[in-house]
């Protein structure tokens, strides 16, 4: 993986981030200079560029040699990726294609040749701008302005913290992780109208697809068996689409022969997060995934438990032993909750868990039973469960929750 040759923050604010990938140093430097704009006049500090954009530039002195190297660049979430076409046009066009399928970054290319065929091929591969060298600051400013005008929604989504990883883990088998994760994902897809993916990492046989009334063709087995093959387009070919708009990567129907490595799971999550605004994971009770990206510090973890002696005891151990050192506290979800749950009151529950629970999903046998019998997601019908889950989803998506909260508090007096 080539390391960046340098990083320059042209005018400090970082309004637009640009990755500049160019093996030829002279051309790359010329483009970097055009991006940076003229040097400040004597006596004037932080002189704005002509378009008023601050541009943060990171230079890469090589095309990414391996898919993982490209992944690492994409993880930086650049607004624009600018590539040299001339050093190796075939390799450059492949990188353009991979970026366009795997990420929301805008791809621009530069070349010293006026080759119409190359222009057409780069546009077909997904490049949005073709810059013919030599390029001036004026040309560059115009090109960047077009890019920033075309992508306000994306920039807004990034600023509001989209591309979240939301993980559901149970304190014990049968706690309701799948019911909550699957219906939370449906609600999030509907409420946010943003791209949402549900991944079922439950083993040996996960059942999110059944909960949603789906019969997918492919599963996590296909995604995890060869991590080096997995990219945005391969992942897309494995997904099933739910009527809510949610994309689903189901669990295998057969017992996995070789358990997936953490590296394979990490790759899946990395590709998933580059391609979806929200990635929801049903992790079942898989504490073995602790060292993987599933429990990355940036993930929002929902620990699902019921109010019972062994469930609360397990939850307590998980909170202290697995998640004690997290920068973001985990969120506790009490499932099948009733105000009279086994004689435990709120104080008992908080003491047993050491942190107060955030969410309560009512015990609603009729709604759960109906969903199973009709193979329809609980989230698509009105019930006490669907209302509580929708409230969680709206909070996760940063959407207003006033009305839902009022209704739900009514339920618990």
Ligand X SMILES: Nc1ncnc2c1ncn2[C@@H]1O[C@H](COP(=O)(O)OP(=O)(O)OP(=O)(O)O)[C@@H](O)[C@H]1O
Site of interaction with ligand X (CB under 6 A)? 170, 173-179, 202, 284-285, 335-336, 361, 363-365, 368, 372, 385
Minimum distance of Mg ion from residue 236's CB (angstroms): 25
In whole angstroms, how close is the CB of 335 to ligand X at the nearest point? 5
Where in 200-229 is the site for Mg ion (CB under 5 A)?
A: 202
For residue 333, with 0-12 CB atoms within 10 Å meaning exposed, 13-18 middle and 19 or more buried, which class applies?
buried
CA distance 385 to 362: 6
Which of 305, 295, 284 has the alpha carbon at shortest distance from 353?
305
Shortest separation between residue 369's beta carbon and Mg ion, angstroms: 17
CA–CA dist 171, 384 (Å, integer): 22
Q: Which lies closer to Mg ion via its Cβ, residue 111 or residue 219?
A: 219
Q: Among the candidate windows 5-13, 17-25, 117-125, 171-179, which touches Mg ion by CB under 5 A?
A: 171-179
Tokens found for residue 205? 């046989």
Degrees to nearest 5, angle at CA 102 with 98 and 106:
80
# residues near Mg ion by CB under 5 A: 2
Q: How far is the CB of 4 from ligand X (least distance, A)?
A: 43
Residue nearest to Mg ion (CB): 178
Residues 120-159: x where in contact with Mg ion by CB under 5 A, - otherwise, as a string = ----------------------------------------
Helix axes 137-150, 152-159, angle to 10 degrees: 70
Q: Which is nearer to Mg ion, 129 or 200 (CB)?
A: 200
Q: How far is the CB of 239 from Mg ion (least distance, A)?
A: 19
Give the phi and the psi of residue 333 in degrees, each rounded to 5.
Answer: -115, 115
Nearer to ligand X, 82 or 177 (CB): 177
Q: Indicate which of Mg ion, ligand X, none lies near residue 401 (CB less than 5 to 8 Å, by partner kind).
A: none
Residue that is written with structure tokens 């070919």 in the block: 237
Q: Under 8 Å CB-to-CB from 106, ≥6 apart: which residues?
A: 79, 80, 81, 128, 129, 147, 150, 151
Question: Looking at beta carbons only, is 29 or 313 nearer to ligand X?
Answer: 313
How many CB atoms neighbour CB 2 within 10 A?
A: 15
Name which of ligand X, Mg ion, none residue 141 binds, using a CB cut-off of 5 to 8 Å depending on partner kind: none
Nearer to Mg ion, 46 or 253 (CB): 253
178 near Mg ion (CB under 5 A): yes
The per-residue DSSP string of 225-244 comes to S-GGG--HHHHHHH-EE-TT
Q: Which does 335 bind (CB under 5 to 8 A by kind): ligand X, Mg ion, none?
A: ligand X
Picked from ligand X, Mg ion, none, the partner binding residue 311 (CB below 5 to 8 A depending on kind) is none
CB under 5 to 8 A by kind: which of ligand X, Mg ion, none does 399 bind? none
DSSP for residue 326: -
- In the bound state with Mg ion, the residue whose beta carbon lies nearer, of 178 and 195, is 178
Least distance from C-beta 233 to ligand X, angstroms?
30
With vertex at residue 180, the alpha carbon angle to CA 174 and CA 186, rounded to the nearest 5 degrees, is: 145
Q: Minimum distance from CB of 279 to ligand X (Å)?
A: 18
Nearest to 260 by CA among 232, 292, 234: 292
Q: How far is the CB of 217 from Mg ion (least distance, A)?
A: 21
Strand partners, 302: 168, 331
Q: Which of residues 393-412 bind Mg ion (CB under 5 A)?
A: none
Query: Is residue 181 within 8 Å of 281, Cβ to Cβ?
Result: yes
Task: Give 333's contacts (C-beta < 8 A, 6+ positions apart).
Answer: 168, 180, 302, 303, 304, 305, 357, 358, 359, 360, 361, 392
Residue 227 CA to residue 260 CA, distance in Å, equals: 10
If the CB atoms of residues 127 and 319 are measured against ligand X, the closer one turns out to be: 319
- Taking the C-alpha atoms of residue 53 and residue 77, their distance in angstroms, rounded to an integer, is 18
Instruction: State in angstroms the smallest separation of the CB of 172 from ligand X.
Output: 8
Please give the DSSP secondary-structure letter assigned to residue 261.
P
What are the residues whose beta carbons fall under 8 Å from the beta carbon of 229, sequence distance 6 or more? none
From the list 110-118, 131-139, 198-206, 285-293, the region that binds Mg ion by CB under 5 A is 198-206
Of 178 and 219, the one with the shorter C-beta distance to Mg ion is 178
Q: Which two tokens stand for residue 81?
A: 């990726």
Q: Which does 386 bind (CB under 5 to 8 A by kind): Mg ion, ligand X, none?
A: none
Rounded least distance, CB 183 to ligand X, Å: 9
Task: Using CB under 5 A, list all residues that contact Mg ion.
Answer: 178, 202
């Amino acid at each position: 993986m080539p390391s960046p040759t340098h990083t320059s923050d042209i005018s400090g604010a970082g309004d637009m981030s640009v990755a500049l990938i160019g093996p030829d140093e002279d051309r790359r430097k010329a483009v970097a200079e055009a991006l940076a704009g003229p040097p400040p006049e004597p006596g004037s500090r932080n002189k704005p560029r002509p378009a008023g954009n601050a541009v943060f530039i990171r230079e890469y002195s090589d095309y990414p040699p391996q898919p993982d190297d490209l992944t690492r660049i994409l993880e930086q979430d650049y607004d624009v990726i600018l590539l040299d076409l001339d050093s190796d046009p075939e390799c450059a066009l492949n990188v353009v294609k991979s970026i366009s399928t795997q990420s929301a970054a805008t791809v621009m290319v530069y070349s010293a040749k006026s080759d119409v065929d190359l222009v057409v091929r780069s546009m077909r591969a997904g490049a949005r701008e073709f810059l013919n060298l030599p390029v001036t600051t004026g040309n560059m400013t115009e090109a960047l302005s077009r890019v920033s005008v075309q992508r306000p929604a994306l920039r807004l989504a990034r600023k509001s913290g989209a591309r979240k990883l939301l993980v559901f883990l149970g304190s014990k088998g049968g706690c309701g992780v799948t019911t909550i994760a699957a219906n939370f994902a449906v609600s999030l897809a509907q409420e946010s109208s943003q791209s949402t993916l549900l991944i079922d990492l439950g083993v040996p046989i996960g059942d999110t697809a059944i909960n949603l009334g789906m019969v997918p063709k492919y599963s996590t087995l296909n995604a995890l068996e060869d991590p080096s093959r997995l990219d945005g387009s391969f992942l897309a070919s494995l997904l099933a689409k739910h009527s809510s708009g949610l994309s689903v990567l189901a669990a295998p129907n057969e017992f996995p022969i070789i358990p997936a490595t953490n590296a394979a799971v990490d790759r899946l999550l990395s590709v998933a997060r580059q391609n979806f605004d929200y990635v929801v994971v049903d992790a079942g009770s898989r504490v073995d995934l602790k060292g993987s990206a599933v429990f990355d510090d940036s993930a929002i973890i929902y620990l699902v438990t019921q109010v019972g002696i062994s469930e609360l005891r397990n939850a307590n151990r998980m909170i202290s032993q697995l998640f004690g050192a997290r920068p973001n506290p985990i969120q506790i979800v009490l499932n099948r909750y009733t105000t009279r749950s086994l004689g435990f009151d709120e104080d008992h529950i908080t003491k047993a868990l050491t942190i107060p629970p955030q969410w309560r999903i009512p015990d609603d046998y009729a709604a759960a039973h109906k969903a199973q019998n009709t193979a329809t997601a609980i989230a698509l019908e009105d019930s006490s469960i669907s209302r509580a889950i929708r409230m969680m989803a709206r909070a996760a998506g940063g959407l207003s929750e006033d009305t839902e909260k009022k209704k739900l508090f009514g339920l618990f007096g």
